[in-house]
Amino acid sequence: MGYDEAIVHLGDFGRYQKIIYSLICLTSIPVAFHKLAGVFLLAKPDFRCALPFENGSTYELSPHLWNLSYPQDERCSYYDVDYSAAYLNGSIPRSSNNTKSCTSYVYDRSKYLNSAVTEWNLVCGRDFMAATSDSLFMLGVLLGSIVFGQLSDKYGRKPILFASLVIQVLFGVLAGVAPEYFTYTFARVMVGATTSGVFLVAYVVAMEMVGPDKRLYAGIFVMMFFSVGFMLTAVFAYFVHDWRWLQIALTLPGLIFMFYYWIIPESARWLLSKGRKDCAIANMQKAARFNKVEISDEALSELLDEGEGSEERAKQKLEDLEQDEGPPPSVWDLFCYPNLRRKTLLIFLDWLVTSGVYYGLSWNTNDLGGNVLLNFVISGAVEIPAYIFLLLTLNRWGRRSILCGSLVMAGLSLLATVIIPEGMHTLIIACAMLGKLAITASYGTVYIFSAEQFPTVVRNVALGAASMVARISGMMAPFLKVLATIWKPLPLLICGSLSLAAGLLSLLLPETHNKPMLETIADGERFGKKTKGDVYLETGQELRTPEAQPLKGSGDANGSAIANGHKY
């Protein structure tokens, strides 16, 4: 607790911390730009085959010509007949029902001037390519969370944050000038990877610069700035109608953050973890001067030494334990014991469903009907009250009740859209947005709830595994658009059913609010297990199940910094 005690003496969350924190939060806005841009970059307007006699026609056709040219409910082929003047004016009947595949298309440009879909004709037999591009973007997010997370732990938060920003701008512009689909998709994959580098590192820096009592608020407000970026994406799309210029317009604001290099300090916690105490003290003294607090280097060093000593003792205990009991615990240990395995699978399901439904709703606002831009803004705006709700209730009502209630509410709201008549656009949108609000609340809850369910000795890797599971469903979310071509309500039916099932199954998880942080694998197996025959011994002793099988990982655990919120 050395650093946590030291920052209290620096003015706690003083003026310096507030300024740096606010600047860090702003970097979440371009992350939202890039994650949500696909809604407009790959927008799929109504289309039809261009008929042989047409040259630069508009999308509109008279019902008479439509019936003469296209089979019912068909847009990817037209009747293979002689489109003579006599046929078109109805003087002669259609001579054949044979159809011919499209060679070119006419698009409805009343909503979108153009998009990557209209430019490269990603429709009919090529419509899967648009969904694949968004799916590969999420693959980039997954890879970026692994790569940039490791690099930030090794080389520091600051250099990786700015390296991510530079790469994001370069490949963001490349995506806007890409001559063909594959270059565009590759550039978007790289941008997706950098969104993890920017958001995760910024999130970690924000969490590391505040004390334990402010971490809930620090984490939630970073997410709120992401929601602001969500809504601003629609503002850009309102004024910039060409998809290439839109991509570039959403990318260039990242240049502003390059000036942060001379403002944002390296994380003092990271410096201390690497033994660079002098650099950490120098950064902390800068904060103290800005906050008009006087504290000597010697006093700071003593405060930091107290925490360093406790961490060293915990580390030594863990090393001694590993020597006595074999290799250190790993994420695979979560699947070796029945209670831990059950809880881990339930948590992974919550992450899978929450991520898939969140991105499924965020990327498919075009399918709700009505004003597309207005739907998109509302979809981002409802996230703000969701996060405010979490701030007011998470520490009052408990994690399990909030997670279960949010998922069930999301499920019921989305299922309601299936039975509402198609013409009632306003009611459908209202139910979908209520579902979006609820799933956002569950997203904010599952981070904290999962961190408290996993033991300290495997908390980081377990959360990383849960995040990877979430990215898998995020990669599948773009293909919900394809399912809408089969039956329009099908995507919302799937999202609603999964949310409802995950919410009810979450009741099987034990509540963690006001419970001690789990330290060992043994603690994790014991927590929430209702078995009369269990024998519980004090920390540091071996725990045995009724079958007398010793559980791995008993004893004190290193990772007090992690338990306090580091890298959640």
Q: What is the CATH number of the domain that holds 438?
A: 1.20.1250.20
Position 118 in a domain: no
pTM of the model: 0.81
Spatial separation of the C-alpha atoms in residues 195 and 161, rounded to whole Å: 10
Position 239 in a domain: yes
Domain stops at, among 297, 324, 351: 324
- The total number of structural domains that make up the chain: 3
DSSP tag of 93: -
* pLDDT tens string 481-515: 778 777 878 888 999 999 999 999 999 999 988 78
User: What's the confidence (pLDDT) of residue 527?
Assistant: 87
Same domain assignment for residues 256 and 336: no
Position 226 in a domain: yes
Position 126 in a domain: no
Position 95 in a domain: yes
Position 117 in a domain: no
Position 128 in a domain: no
Same domain assignment for residues 36 and 175: yes
* Bridge partners, residue 106, by sequence: 48
Domain stops at, among 298, 324, 350: 324
User: What's the confidence (pLDDT) of residue 533?
Assistant: 46
Position 129 in a domain: no
Same domain assignment for residues 97 and 157: no
Same domain assignment for residues 414 and 490: yes
Q: Which domain holds residue 65?
A: 47-108
Mean pLDDT in residue range 70-83: 86
Intra-chain end-to-end CA distance of the chain, in Å: 17
Same domain assignment for residues 205 and 293: yes
Evaluate whether 95 touches 82 at the Cβ level (below 8 Å).
yes
Higher pLDDT, 44 or 296: 44
Q: Is 168 exposed, middle or buried (0-12, 13-18, 19+ CB in 10 A)?
A: buried
Same domain assignment for residues 68 and 171: no
Same domain assignment for residues 78 and 102: yes
- Is pLDDT above 50 for 516? yes
Instruction: Find the helix or strand (DSSP H, E) in which 537 lies.
Output: none
Least confident of 200-214, 219-233, 235-249: 200-214
Same domain assignment for residues 444 and 372: yes
- Is pLDDT above 80 for 50? yes
Q: Which is nearest to 562 in space by CA: 420, 460, 412?
A: 460
Same domain assignment for residues 222 and 339: no
Same domain assignment for residues 64 and 29: no
Average pLDDT, the chain: 82
Same domain assignment for residues 510 and 449: yes
Same domain assignment for residues 340 and 281: no
Domain stops at, among 324, 353, 384: 324
Least confident of 76-80, 136-140, 463-467: 463-467
State the pairing for strand pair 105-107/99-101.
unpaired
